[in-house]
Chain A
């Protein structure tokens, strides 16, 4: 497998680019592994990569029911940020942000990370004050944050209606300049290729149908391609964490909900940052192809259908037009849905479980994509050592039993409100 470099590009160019090999192998499952990760999305692949790179394990398999990155890794709106209020979330996501900043070089794969900034809009003095508080908390945690007044927002987003006559007049905003977007598929592919080069077996079309355990802990997984033994199993299957955990007899503080996203037809560059509109809930950016990429709230009721419903699409479109009336003639090109693990406190669950040898990485709510590198980093540490990393100690499943929930919004145990 060739290193991706200018020299190799030229070398392969001389032979008409017929010499490139597949970016990862397609191995048959072995009888057993030192560690098995269920779920071949960004989180599972990143976990396998860091298990191999940081912890020296390379007898690892990633089992994927469908194809790589075919779940939520390929269904999100690609936003990367670390603008959190609570310390545990702030430190975890900021570690991720630092990994994002060197990710393309580390993986030798261009994940097209673009630090175009993420702006949260405020529409009242009170909201701006809560942003000031969050911005100060971020800066105390070493994260970049800038409070913007209305003129500064208007300068950064010249196409947006910030006039006093708009439906929700803009009072100001909170900017994280290092936030931005990345190419979601490339993240899965980059981690897959980098993990494969370190010897990780990536096995697609291999559905886990059961988890075997004895008194000492887990012993392996039943799959559509036979039994595979391992005393260390990590679940990275957000959307279906409940179903996989139930195979080991665990009940989780999670409900599955559908979150939709959509893109407009492609247009020339009009928006060079990420705008989030929390008052009515819209986040929008422009992809490199020119499509406006948008999302909003979850549909709001339990769902395992990877498709959503029109009221949310209409709401997102209405929010977009409230901010950018000039987009009224754009057409929606595609909409789709992904199934979210919505947790009871709105924060992810990543760490150990009561079943020895079984580890859980899920509960990502809306926030999974940006967490991919940090999630893989700390999950690999947890699986390798049997103990949570300092960065995910507060994200462990047992926080619900110990009364240490991490509820950023203070919404309470109502997953559809997070």
Chain B
């Protein structure tokens, strides 16, 4: 069981959270000017790193805030957990 240290609610079990995927995927800044390749990158292509991974989780059975979690996807160690709105991403 992952224990996610929610900055508002404290350490909570993963079953209280909903997964939101890779946190570093950014929508094209000027969508109207983006070409097909840019959209393919944004929609489909992922780094899928074997190691440190920045990812989104929503605390749906807690504060309902979106969080940005740093986790090692091999050891499952959680190295950071911050409020998404304050992370600048």
Chains A and B belong together in one complex = yes
Question: DSSP majority for the B interface?
Answer: mixed
Contact among A256, A303, A305, A344 with B44 in the assembled complex (CB-CB below 8 Å):
A344
Residues of B within 8 A of A242 (CB): 46-48, 50
Q: Is the CB of B43 within 8 A of A243?
A: no
- In the complex with contacts A311-B14, A311-B15, A401-B37, A414-B21 CB distance below 8 A: yes
A304 at the interface (CB under 8 A from B): yes
**One of A17-25, A72-80, A202-210, A247-255 contacting the partner:** A247-255
CA distance A302 to B24 in the complex (A): 14
Instruction: Say which size band chain B's interface belongs to.
Output: 20 to 34
Residues of B within 8 A of A301 (CB): 2, 14, 19, 55, 71
CA distance A387 to B74 in the complex (A): 36
Residue among B2, B15, B22, B73 with max Cβ neighbours from chain A (10 Å):
B73
Residue among B36, B44, B74 with max Cβ neighbours from chain A (10 Å):
B44
Residues of B within 8 A of A27 (CB): none
Which residues of chain A from 382 to 416 have a CB within 8 Å of any chain B CB?
400-401, 413-416
Nearest Cβ on chain A to B43's Cβ, whole angstroms: 5
Residues of A within 8 A of B85 (CB): none
CA distance A240 to B37 in the complex (A): 24
Residues of B within 8 A of A416 (CB): 19, 21
B68 at the interface (CB under 8 A from A): no
Q: Is the CB of B1 within 8 A of A303?
A: no
Interface 0/1 of A1-23, CB less than 8 Å to B:
00000000000000000000000
Contact among B14, B44, B73 with A304 in the assembled complex (CB-CB below 8 Å):
B73
Nearest Cβ on chain A to B44's Cβ, whole angstroms: 4
Contact among B1, B22, B41 with A311 in the assembled complex (CB-CB below 8 Å):
B1
Which residues of chain A from 190 to 229 have a CB within 8 Å of any chain B CB?
none
B26 at the interface (CB under 8 A from A): no
CA distance A297 to B71 in the complex (A): 21
Q: Is the CB of A413 within 8 A of B50?
A: no
Q: Is the CB of B76 within 8 A of A305?
A: yes
Residues of A within 8 A of B45 (CB): 251-253
Nearest Cβ on chain B to A315's Cβ, whole angstroms: 10
Which residues of chain B from 24 to 61 have a CB within 8 Å of any chain A CB?
36-37, 40-41, 43-48, 50, 53, 55
Residues of A within 8 A of B75 (CB): 305
Residues of B within 8 A of A251 (CB): 41, 45-47
Contact among B1, B19, B48 with A310 in the assembled complex (CB-CB below 8 Å):
B1
CA distance A414 to B19 in the complex (A): 10
Q: Is the CB of A305 within 8 A of B1?
A: no
Nearest Cβ on chain A to B66's Cβ, whole angstroms: 15
- In the complex with contacts A302-B53, A304-B73, A254-B43 CB distance below 8 A: no
Residues of B within 8 A of A401 (CB): 36-37, 40
Nearest Cβ on chain A to B70's Cβ, whole angstroms: 12
A residues within 8 Å of B by Cβ?
240, 242-243, 251-256, 300-305, 309-311, 344, 400-401, 413-416
Closest 4 pairs between A and B when the two form their complex, measured CB to CB: A253-B44, A242-B48, A251-B45, A344-B44
